Amino acid sequence: MALITRSDFKGNVKISQNTKETDDLTLYIERNQDQLLRDLIGDYQLSLYNTSPNSSTTKYVALITGTDAAGDQFYYYDKEGIYTSYYGIKEALKYFTYWDYVRNLNAKATSVGIRFADAENSTGSTQLQVNSVIEQRYNLGVEIYQAACSFLHIMYDCKLHYFGITEAAPGEYQMIVRNDPGKNSINLCSLLNQGDTFELDGIDYSVIINDVGTNPGQVLIDFAGDPGLTFTDKFIYINPYVDYICKKKNLSVLDGML
């Protein structure tokens, strides 16, 4: 499923929608989406994401859109305890697609909307001017991509602090997560989907049910274990995007020569 459509290309990535050159824009979107996700999470995670209905699970929604299960802005505390908002990867896809599309138009680029002010009129752009514009857009995409990489790196073996654990029945446990100011707690619960594992006291457990949203301000996570367990750590380690591989992308400093 495409994360963006032709109608998303407006504002600083505006592409005129009334020219024949836009007929293949959808193909550019599909190509850049596959490449962007492959670069960001690697082949293994991409195969999981592409397996229906995984793409709609809350951890991938958070990765793509930067929103949690309630549709609110996703945030986390980094390794130094600094509050960080995460905005997803969709905007990067627009910038990379725009860059890829316009650079391949060469001299036709002005017909899709790149023009420059000249007193009261606008003038057609030179190829160097076009290159400068698309390089700027490319770099905006790289900055968003780098933020997504940081998000993935920090979520790897990240601590999620819980409030308490009860044994509802022998071997059936329920973890209670509430907001813990200054710590990753309920804000990360969207990343734990059914079947995902977490580590508690050095042992891996699998999520059976993650009840997000039923009780405001509280998340209940069910998991199984041996009967009669007691737990020492007051946090769990999560690793929601197992075996991801994040390819490095650098800003362009070619000064319009992309």
More confident of the two residues 104 and 246: 246
Please state, in angstroms and as integers, the Cα–Cα distance from residue 89 to each residue in 37, 48, 102, 220, 234, following that order. Answer: 9, 17, 20, 28, 32
| Structure confidence by residue, pLDDT tens digits, 73-114 | 999 999 899 999 999 999 999 999 999 999 887 545 455 555
Q: Is the pLDDT of residue 126 over 80?
A: no
Token pair of 249 as six digits: 């992308």
Please state, in angstroms and as integers, the Cα–Cα distance from residue 71 to each residue in 74, 148, 213, following that order. Answer: 8, 18, 11
Reported as type and span, the H/E element at residue 197 is: strand 197-200
Average pLDDT over residues 240-254: 93
Residue 69's pLDDT band, with cuts at 50, 70 and 90, is very high
Position 44 scores a pLDDT of: 97
Pick from 39, 46, 1, 35: which is nearest to 241 by CA? 46
Position 168 scores a pLDDT of: 92
Using DSSP's 3-state secondary structure scheme, residue 200 falls into: strand
Q: Is the pLDDT of residue 119 over 50?
A: no
Q: Compute φ and ψ for 208, nearest 5 degrees.
A: -95, -50
Cα separation, 59 vs 225, whole angstroms: 24
Position 116 scores a pLDDT of: 47
Position 113 scores a pLDDT of: 57
Burial class (CB in 10 A: 0-12, 13-18, 19+), 162: buried
Reported as type and span, the H/E element at residue 221 is: strand 218-224
Mean pLDDT of the chain: 90
Residue 87, C-beta contacts closer than 8 angstroms, at least 6 positions apart? 66, 73, 74, 144, 147
Position 1 scores a pLDDT of: 81
Q: Is the pLDDT of residue 125 over 60?
A: no
What's the start-to-end Cα distance of the chain, in Å? 29
Cα separation, 89 vs 151, whole angstroms: 11
| Structure confidence by residue, pLDDT tens digits, 161-173 | 999 999 999 999 9
| Structure confidence by residue, pLDDT tens digits, 20-56 | 666 789 999 999 999 999 999 999 999 999 999 999 9
Position 204 scores a pLDDT of: 98
Residue 257's pLDDT band, with cuts at 50, 70 and 90, is low
Average pLDDT over residues 200-209: 98
Average pLDDT over residues 48-68: 96
Average pLDDT over residues 117-121: 47
Any idea where the domains of the chain sit in the sequence? 6-155, 158-238
Peptide bond into 53 cis (omega under 30): yes
Residue 117's pLDDT band, with cuts at 50, 70 and 90, is very low
Cα separation, 118 vs 124, whole angstroms: 10
Contact 102, 127 (CB under 8 A): no
| Fold category of 158-238 in CATH | Thrombin, subunit H (2.40.10)
